[in-house]
């Protein structure tokens, strides 16, 4: 009798597990986002209407990360996918995502952003950058696959940034555009809650404007400054608010001794007093630069699920009177 009971119970458990995976556990609809910061915007707009599934794990480097089969399969239970649009792993895996869920609604948040092109982020944060095609963006439709995919170009997009810079979410000016697009997208998925979503959008944009003011105040304390950063994640913030970043990674790798000497000379010559490094990278070279130049080493986390905290920590470092 015990064997019979076990045979009955095990299939029942397996069926229950499969059902939970496809329905989001408690039955609520699921929205998947590719990177953690986007989850904050979805929650601010929709509250608890959706369970938010984040693909990129905390502390992972989006340049080299690849989704696990279980993460790809989990998309079968998602109503929609919100992507950055300029990350290599998104380009490489989009076809697979759609194979798992052909009806997946996709929002590419880069479509309405004034994107910074390759090589511009370090040399001139106020220089020319790629605009949009002026055709607008239907937030309920799939992104243009000719834009997303590109054969060998995918590898360059993700690892060497030969395509547009993907770090636009770190600028409050871009975040305001993202908030508009996410709200329209979610309202299209759940029209019954549309009025509430747009009411939440007004509150969200007020919060973004508060952070915008903090960044402006911080930069105004020393306009035109230059900061060092390991990976160039602050190009949009620099362009939109008036400071310059210089990256000290060397084509995605740790800087060579010759590059380190250049950076030390640059920091001393320009009086650079701030060195940023993202939480997911090795601190050793940044620590050496800090010791050689006397600049403060600030660890930041652009992939923080708490978007305000990620931006505010940069603003506070820029505002410091020790500059």
pLDDT in tens, 107-139: 999 999 999 985 444 443 333 333 333 223 333
What pLDDT was estimated at residue 162?
A: 57
Is the CB of residue 257 less than 8 Å from the CB of residue 207? Answer: no
Report the range of poorest mean pLDDT among 5-9, 168-172, 256-260. 5-9
User: Taking all residues of the chain, what is their mean pLDDT, rounded to a whole number?
Assistant: 79
Question: Residue 62: what pLDDT?
Answer: 73
| 11-34 pLDDT tens trace | 433 333 333 333 444 568 999 999
pLDDT digits (tens, 9 = 90+) for 236-274: 999 999 999 999 887 678 888 999 999 999 999 998 989
Residue 223 has what pLDDT?
Answer: 74
Whether residue 174 is predicted with pLDDT greater than 50 in this model: the reply is yes
Give the pLDDT of residue 43.
Answer: 98
Share of residues in the chain with pLDDT > 70 (%): 76
Specify burial of residue 155 (Cβ count, 10 A radius: 0-12, 13-18, 19+).
Answer: middle
Two domains, one topology: 19-210 and 220-319: yes
Binned at pLDDT 50, 70 and 90, residue 291 comes out as very high
Average pLDDT over residues 162-186: 95
Kindly list the domain boundaries of the chain, sorted by start residue.
Answer: 19-210, 220-319
Q: 314 pLDDT band (50/70/90 cuts)?
A: very high
Residue 8 confidence (pLDDT) above 90: no
Superfamily of domain 220-319: Nitrogenase molybdenum iron protein domain (3.40.50.1980)
DSSP string, 66-90: ---HHHHHGGGGEEEEEE-SS-HHH
- At CA 74, angle to CA 54 and CA 148, rounded to 5? 65
**Lowest-confidence pick of 107-111, 156-160, 319-323:** 156-160
Angle, to 10 degrees, between the axis of helix 36-46 and the axis of helix 172-189? 60
Beta carbons of 175 and 208 less than 8 angstroms apart: yes
Rounded to an integer, the average pLDDT of 98-107 is 94
Its CATH class, for the domain covering 19-210, is alpha beta
Tokens of 235: 């190009």
- The pLDDT of residue 67 is 83
Residue 248, pLDDT score: 87
- pLDDT level of residue 175 (50, 70, 90 thresholds): very high
**What pLDDT, on a 0 to 100 scale, did the predictor assign at position 26?**
53
Q: Is 146 or 66 the better-scoring residue by pLDDT?
A: 66
Task: State what percent of residues in the chain have pLDDT above 90.
Answer: 57
Flag the least confident range among 65-74, 80-89, 106-115, 260-269: 65-74
Report the C-alpha gap between 242 and 212 in whole angstroms.
Answer: 13
**Computed from CA positions of residues 165, 227, 295, 310, in that sequence, does the dihedral angle turn out positive or negative?**
negative
Residues 161-170: what's their mean pLDDT?
A: 86
Please give the pLDDT value at position 283.
Answer: 85
Q: How far apart are CA 43 and CA 185, in angstroms?
A: 13
């Amino acid at each position: 009798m015990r064997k019979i009971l076990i045979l009955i119970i095990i299939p029942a458990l397996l069926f229950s597990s499969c059902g939970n995976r496809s329905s989001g556990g408690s039955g609520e609809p699921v929205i998947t986002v590719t990177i953690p910061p986007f989850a904050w915007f979805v929650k601010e707009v929709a509250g608890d209407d959706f369970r938010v599934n984040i693909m990129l794990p905390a502390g992972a480097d989006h340049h080299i990360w690849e989704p696990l089969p279980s993460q790809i399969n989990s998309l079968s239970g998602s109503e929609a996918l919100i992507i950055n649009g300029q990350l290599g792993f998104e380009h490489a895996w989009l076809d697979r995502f759609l194979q798992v869920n052909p009806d997946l609604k996709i929002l590419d948040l880069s479509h309405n952003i004034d994107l910074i092109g390759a090589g511009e982020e370090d040399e001139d944060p106020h220089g020319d950058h790629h605009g949009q095609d002026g055709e607008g963006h239907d937030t309920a439709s799939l992104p243009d696959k000719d834009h997303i995919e590109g054969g060998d170009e995918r590898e360059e997009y993700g690892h060497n940034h030969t395509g547009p810079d993907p770090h636009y979410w770190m600028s409050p000016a871009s975040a305001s555009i993202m908030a508009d697009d996410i709200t329209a997208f979610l309202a299209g998925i759940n029209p019954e809650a549309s009025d509430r979503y747009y009411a939440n959008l007004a509150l969200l944009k007020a919060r973004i404007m508060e952070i915008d003011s903090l960044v402006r105040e911080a930069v105004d304390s020393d306009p035109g400054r230059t900061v060092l950063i390991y990976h160039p994640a602050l190009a949009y913030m620099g362009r939109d608010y008036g400071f310059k970043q210089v990256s000290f990674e060397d084509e995605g790798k740790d800087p060579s001794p010759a590059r380190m000497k250049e950076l030390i000379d640059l920091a001393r010559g320009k009086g650079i007093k701030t060195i940023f490094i993202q939480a997911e990278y090795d601190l050793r070279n940044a620590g050496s630069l800090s010791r050689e130049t006397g600049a403060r080493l600030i660890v930041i986390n652009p992939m923080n699920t708490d978007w305000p905290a990620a931006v505010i920590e940069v603003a506070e470092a820029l505002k410091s009177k020790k500059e």
